[in-house]
């Protein structure tokens, strides 16, 4: 299968690599050409050039504006795509732009991912999808190269709304984990023993297993950046204004993250939320 992959950052580059190793003919495009070249794959000069003749076009860029630029903008991919080609977007963006792109191209799938850079490198991402059955049927063989789980949630935009659910959950869990860690420290408890005791019970979570040890050591220079988390929470809060959901806790944690940004932690992992709490 000939596949165009647009956006070769920390997530996109390993995903494109998995596609190449699966035997697909992959051409890549990135706004910063050096990042595209670093993949070792064929490099296109524009999104349109990458999309020319492709069976599938995959994007993994930064935000709504970036996505609109590489699909609908000057030299955008959509104008060059074959009618029977499928479009797959892995960017975390608004549901509204996902729906807009699906109106432009029926064979479109909004497919944000969970699992982070490690999941992308291992080819073990969880992918939540919105789009038609026909679009998913064409997209699934592509995504299987880097996914551990692919779930078709609903119509166009449903994938993005599900990613918002994911980020709402993470925000709440990390606030609770931060408070729990500081409580344990204030009680002069052995943090390793506390972790051993609670990580096998009802309090256990992915965040606890993967972040408690590093939070305890004040290690945050890795993982999913707070700047990106605030972008994602902003999308969820905006969507809540449209659908009427009450996200009071999420709005509060979003402001807590703003405090950590002011402390210089914007590029640190989301677990750096604990930094705003005194020891």
Of the candidates 117, 132, 59, 116, the one whose C-alpha atom is nearest the C-alpha of residue 91 is 59
Name the catalytic one among 2, 122, 163, 262.
163
What are the φ and ψ backbone dihedral angles of 223, each rounded to 5 degrees? Answer: 80, -155
Report the helix count and the strand count for the chain, using DSSP H and E: 12, 9
Q: How far is residue 168's CA from residue 224's CA, in Å, rounded to a whole number?
A: 15
- Number of other residues whose CB lies within 10 A of the CB of residue 156: 22
116 conformational bin, left if phi > 0, alpha if psi -120 to 50, beta if neither = left
Whether 193 is catalytic: no
Q: How far is residue 241's CA from residue 246's CA, in Å, rounded to a whole number?
A: 8
Q: How far is residue 151's CA from residue 83's CA, in Å, rounded to a whole number?
A: 25
Active-site residue list? 163
């Amino acid at each position: 299968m000939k596949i165009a992959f647009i956006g070769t950052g920390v997530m996109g580059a390993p995903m494109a690599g998995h596609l190449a190793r699966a035997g697909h003919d992959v051409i890549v495009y990135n706004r910063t050409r050096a990042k595209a070249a670093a993949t070792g794959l064929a490099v296109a000069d524009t999104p349109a050039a990458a999309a020319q003749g492709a069976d599938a076009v995959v994007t993994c860029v930064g935000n709504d504006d970036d996505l609109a630029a590489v699909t609908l903008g000057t030299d955008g991919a959509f104008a060059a795509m074959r009618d029977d080609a499928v479009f797959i977007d892995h960017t975390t963006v608004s549901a509204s732009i996902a729906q807009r792109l699906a109106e432009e191209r029926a064979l479109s799938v909004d497919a944000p991912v969970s699992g982070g850079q490690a999941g992308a490198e291992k080819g073990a991402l969880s992918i939540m999808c919105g789009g038609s059955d026909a679009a998913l049927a064409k997209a699934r063989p592509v995504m299987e190269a880097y996914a551990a789980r692919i779930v078709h949630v609903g119509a166009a935009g449903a994938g993005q709304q599900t990613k918002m659910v994911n980020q709402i959950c993470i925000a709440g869990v990390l606030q609770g984990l931060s408070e729990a860690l500081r409580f344990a420290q204030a009680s002069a408890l052995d943090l390793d023993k506390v972790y051993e005791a609670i990580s096998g019970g009802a309090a256990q979570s992915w965040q606890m297993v993967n972040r408690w040890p590093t939070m305890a050591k004040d290690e945050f220079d890795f993982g999913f950046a707070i700047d990106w988390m605030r972008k994602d929470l902003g999308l969820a809060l905006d969507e809540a204004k449209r659908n009427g959901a009450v996200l009071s806790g999420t709005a509060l944690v979003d402001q807590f993250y703003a405090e950590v940004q002011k402390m210089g932690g914007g590029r640190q992992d989301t677990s750096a939320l604990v930094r705003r709490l005194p020891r």
